[in-house]
Structure 1
Amino acid sequence: MEKLQSRILIQHEKGATIAYLYNRESFDLLKIDKDSYDDSQFLEIGQIIEYDGRKLKIVNINFKMEKDFYDANPNMGINLYSPTDPSGYNCQIGIFVKDI
């Protein structure tokens, strides 16, 4: 059974790609408060996040399951949307934001 390996896409509602997140360290760049019960973190519509000094409001979230597993194997070419993609993934969580 194939495991889910995800990346998070942060995209402006007008179409500009802001970031791809692949690990806990990059997720922490969003400066999201941790739950007092178990230190978990949530992304929700209406929430304010901060990235690279910008405050952004989440307006939509979606989950995309890829047909194929994408990895950063140089023998297979590169992902033109993210040529420095450091890890494989088979699903993507899309976080769509607007400036506030």
Structure 2
Amino acid sequence: MFHFGPNLLQVKMVLKEGRVSLYRRSASHTQPLSATLASLERERRQNHAIALTAAVVIVILLMLAICYLHGQSVRRQQELMLLRESARRRKREKRKV
């Protein structure tokens, strides 16, 4: 008996009319083993595609967050430069007066 994947398929190999068949716990009918293996392969590919899509979305969101934070940082630096420049101007004006 083998357990496959998260849905815990119970596989029992039974020789029946020279053919290996598969019994599912929830199903009363049998499926050929090749059909079940094909469906497991399809499920594995779908899971892989979902995981890949999720990874791409996470990377894009991280990049957007980094760009946003960098923009905030640049904006703060510009504001500080403007404040310093205005402070210097005020100092110069006080000296002239």
So what's the TM-score if we normalise by structure 1?
A: 0.19
Determine which structure has greater relative contact order: mean sequence separation of CA pairs < 8 Å that are 6+ residues apart, divided by chain length: 1
Instruction: Give the number of the structure whose residues are more often strand, by fraction.
Output: 1
Instruction: Give the number of the structure whose residues are more often helix, by fraction.
Output: 2
Report which of the two structures shows the higher radius of gyration computed on alpha carbons.
2
So what's the TM-score if we normalise by structure 2?
A: 0.19
